[in-house]
Amino acid sequence: MPSQIKILAFAGSAREDSFNKKLVKIAADGASQNGADVTLLDLRDYPIPLFDEDLEKKEGLPSNAKKIKEMMVSHDGLLIATPEYNSSISPLLKNTLDWISRSESKDEPPLIAYKNKVAAIMSASPGGLGGLRGLVHVRSILENMGVIVLPNQRAIGSAYNAFDENGKLKDKKQQESIIGLGNELVSVVQKLKS
């Protein structure tokens, strides 16, 4: 019997009532429903400094960056939701991805946390496009680091009105599509591992 698929789910937002934290949780539920062991990660719990090569040279990888990197290495797939900042991704997400990309020794294979991973990406934004422009950059960054990014992605616009009091999407089709992303990620990872 194949081992259980492990999925790491997180949002590129630290805000407590973040739309993207709500969104990635819905996708995580979809992955769980398809039998995956899902870890929900809140980047707010793992603060890391802005990427700085001088700091890296002096102190190495920050301890929280190491913890996130270890989680990424130990999981098969990623669910990532990000807000859009000025037509791109959030600084929090970019900084996290950059730190995790760094090798800790000469013997460590490059981009060890990203190679052979599969990701599903999504966004929620108050604007009409739902963060779609930022997803273009997320996809490009991840693919350039060796991540297989699923073609399907979702962008939820008018996010201020999109969620109910329980954190679910009010629009049933949108809710099902986000659950479907999590479900699809698990199915693809299972096929690649078999």
Residue 14 inside a domain? The answer is yes
Q: What CATH number does residue 151 fall under? A: 3.40.50.360
Q: For residue 131, what are the domain limits?
A: 6-193
Identify the pLDDT of residue 194. 87
pTM over 0.85: yes
Mind listing the pLDDT tens digit for each residue in 34-71? 999 999 999 999 999 999 999 999 999 999 999 999 99
* 1 falls within a domain: no
Looking at the 3D structure of the chain, how many domains does it have? 1
Q: What is the pLDDT of residues 102-130, one digit of tens each?
A: 999 999 999 999 999 999 999 999 988 89
Length of the chain: 194
Radius of gyration of the chain from Cα atoms? 16
On whether residue 124 sits in a domain, the answer given is yes
* Contact between 1 and 99 (Cβ < 8 Å): no
Beta strands in 4-152, from DSSP E residues, in sequence order: 6-11, 37-41, 77-81, 84-85, 88-89, 118-124, 148-149
